[in-house]
């Protein structure tokens, strides 16, 4: 695919076969089209022909992505007293990646097709060149996925730095800092949301696999004997988070890794998988990482990364349970899951049935007419709601068209101010999914919308 082309929607992983993907075959195209048309996601550097595998999040996409990250932060940090946050640097020295194993192991096996000379990931091509069908390839070579750069003005070996390929290491190398400053004791977690970079060989499927993406990761440090219990606890917590935010049970599952799939240090891994249009694929990995990371950084740095349990007079290296999710990938799953089409009054409509917490706008404020008489009241309703909800103020075209536009971007509630509102001090609140309309006094509007939000 050339850099100029629109996002590739072809599968880069084999479907499972058990998934009923037939009715979802054109879903990807529809969602990619909607994302561009309505300003969720643009191809990066589009005016220069585009830059492959990088995307810009537009006015609606940035709201949705932020809401996904906020919903994660709320569940993982805000509503818990055993998890604290961190925002570590993206640029990091080789020592971190030497100790973590990324410099020697974080690679994909690459082969070149002998006929058309295209380069592929060996594990993704099933023995046949996807471009020309040839079955002859060079021997596989390991290709490290980290982006390497130089910090400072001199580009020599001493100045080498890496863009982090995961946020996780930031939590391990700050373990002692956090322990000292927060006085937490195991079990406790450190959470981080932020950008990660991987020089993926086959970035594909829109924002599913990109070279620059966002992760939401938490490292939960536990006494060694409790690791399996906490691993199971986090499997359930994370699975339920997606259900609570509206992904139906038919589109999500947990897949436990076979022993042969596990890294040598991992005592157990399970993926939360989503039914993408090409089949089941990973949304999040939850791993029991044993004491590997703290031990590795402890040995390499010479710092003691341990916990001293005063009551038991015992010193130990905590084990780590890690729920690691992709924010951009999760946002895509929410979009795919929410996309629907139905008919209202004999007319077809497109709607995103996004959970109100995730919707780019929670409320559309729509004065029925552009006439100046309605504007002051409509603007006062907008000003009342804005500190509490992300609102869109729309005065263009007919009210029916405006409802459709809000449905298409997932706005759960529209508030219409009409000429009666000037008399009775009430507005019409329309529900996206049912299209039901009710009249509500303006002085009770905020409380009513908050009630609906809480109940969603």
Task: Return the number of the residue (321 or 324) whose C-beta is nearest ligand GAP.
Answer: 324
Is residue 211 within 8 A of residue 200, CB to CB? The reply is yes
CA 259 – CA 76 distance, rounded (Å)? 28
CA 446 – CA 432 distance, rounded (Å)? 18
Give me the phi and psi of 244, to 5 degrees please.
Answer: -60, -30
52 binds ligand GAP (CB under 6 A): no
The region of 222-230, 278-286, 302-310, 375-383 touching ligand GAP under the rule CB under 6 A is 278-286
Task: Return the number of the residue (215 or 288) whose C-beta is nearest ligand GAP.
Answer: 215
Write down how long the chain is.
456
Judged by CB under 6 A, the residue of 46, 112, 200, 232 near ligand GAP is 200
DSSP secondary structure letter of residue 252: E
Q: How many other CB atoms sit within 10 Å of the CB of residue 118?
A: 14
Tokens read off for 155: 């580009």
329 binds ligand GAP (CB under 6 A): yes
* x/- map, 142-181, ligand GAP, by CB under 6 A: ------------------------x-x-------------
328 binds ligand GAP (CB under 6 A): yes
CA 37 – CA 383 distance, rounded (Å)? 28
Task: Return the number of the residue (201 or 391) whose C-beta is nearest ligand GAP.
Answer: 201
Among 13, 151, 132, CA closest to 91: 151
Judged by CB under 6 A, the residue of 284, 291, 293, 418 near ligand GAP is 284
Tokens read off for 236: 């359930």
DSSP bridge pairs for 249? none
Task: Return the number of the residue (325 or 414) whose C-beta is nearest ligand GAP.
Answer: 325
407 binds ligand GAP (CB under 6 A): no
Q: Which residue is nearest to ligand GAP (CB)?
A: 326
Question: Token match 């585009």: residue?
Answer: 50
CA 385 – CA 320 distance, rounded (Å)? 43
432 binds ligand GAP (CB under 6 A): no
Q: Is 154 exposed, middle or buried (0-12, 13-18, 19+ CB in 10 A)?
A: exposed
CA 302 – CA 298 distance, rounded (Å)? 6
Smallest gap from Cβ 284 to ligand GAP, in A, equals 5
232 binds ligand GAP (CB under 6 A): no
282 binds ligand GAP (CB under 6 A): yes
429 binds ligand GAP (CB under 6 A): no
Task: Return the number of the residue (209 or 405) whose C-beta is nearest ligand GAP.
Answer: 209
Judged by CB under 6 A, the residue of 24, 38, 164, 209 near ligand GAP is 209
Smallest gap from Cβ 83 to ligand GAP, in A, equals 16
Smallest gap from Cβ 320 to ligand GAP, in A, equals 10
Is residue 99 within 8 A of residue 301, CB to CB? The reply is yes
Question: Which residues form the interface with ligand GAP (CB under 6 A)?
Answer: 166, 168, 198, 200, 209-210, 213, 215, 217, 282-285, 322, 324-326, 328-329
């Amino acid at each position: 695919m050339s850099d100029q082309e629109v996002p590739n929607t072809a599968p880069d992983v084999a479907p499972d076969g058990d998934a009923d993907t037939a009715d979802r075959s054109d879903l990807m195209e529809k969602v990619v089209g909607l994302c561009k048309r309505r300003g969720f996601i643009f191809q990066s550097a589009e005016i220069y022909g585009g830059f492959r595998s990088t995307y810009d999040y537009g006015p609606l996409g940035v709201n949705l992505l932020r809401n996904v990250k906020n919903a994660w932060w709320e569940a993982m940090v805000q509503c818990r007293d055993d998890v604290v946050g961190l925002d570590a640097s993206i640029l990091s020295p080789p020592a971190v990646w030497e100790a973590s194993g990324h410099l020697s192991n974080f690679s994909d096996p690459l082969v070149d097709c002998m006929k058309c000379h295209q380069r592929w990931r060996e594990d993704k091509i099933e023995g046949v060149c996807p471009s020309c069908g040839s079955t002859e390839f060079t021997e596989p070579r390991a290709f490290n996925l980290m982006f390497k750069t130089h910090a400072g003005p001199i580009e020599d070996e001493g100045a080498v730095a890496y863009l982090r390929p995961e946020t996780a290491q930031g939590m391990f190398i700050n373990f002692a800092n956090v322990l000292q400053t927060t006085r937490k004791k195991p079990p406790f977690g450190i959470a981080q949301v932020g950008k990660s970079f991987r020089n993926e060989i086959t970035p594909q499927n829109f924002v599913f696999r990109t070279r620059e993406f966002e992760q939401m990761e938490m490292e939960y440090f536990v006494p060694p004997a409790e690791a399996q219990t906490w691993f199971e606890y986090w499997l359930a917590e994370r699975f339920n988070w997606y259900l609570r935010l509206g992904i139906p049970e038919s589109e999500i599952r947990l897949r436990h890794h076979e022993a042969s799939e596990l890294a040598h240090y991992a005592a157990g891994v399970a993926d939360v998988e989503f039914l993408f249009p090409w089949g089941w694929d990973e949304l999040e990995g939850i791993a029991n990482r044993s004491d590997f990371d703290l031990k590795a950084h402890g040995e390499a740095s010479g710092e003691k990364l341990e916990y001293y349990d005063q009551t038991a007079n015992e010193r130990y290296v905590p084990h780590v349970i890690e729920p690691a999710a992709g924010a951009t990938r999760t946002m895509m799953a929410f979009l795919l899951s929410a996309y629907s089409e139905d008919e209202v009054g004999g007319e077809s409509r497109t709607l995103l049935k996004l959970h109100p917490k995730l919707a780019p706008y929670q409320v559309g404020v729509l004065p029925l007419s552009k006439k100046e008489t309605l504007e002051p009241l409509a603007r006062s309703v907008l000003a009342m709601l804005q500190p509490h909800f992300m609102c869109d103020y729309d005065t263009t075209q007919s009210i029916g068209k405006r409802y459709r536009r809000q449905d298409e971007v997932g706005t759960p509630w529209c508030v219409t101010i009409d000429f009666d509102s000037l008399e009775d001090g009430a507005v019409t609140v329309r529900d996206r999914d049912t299209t039901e309309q009710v009249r509500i006094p303006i002085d009770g509007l905020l409380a009513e919308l908050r009630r609906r939000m809480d109940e969603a």
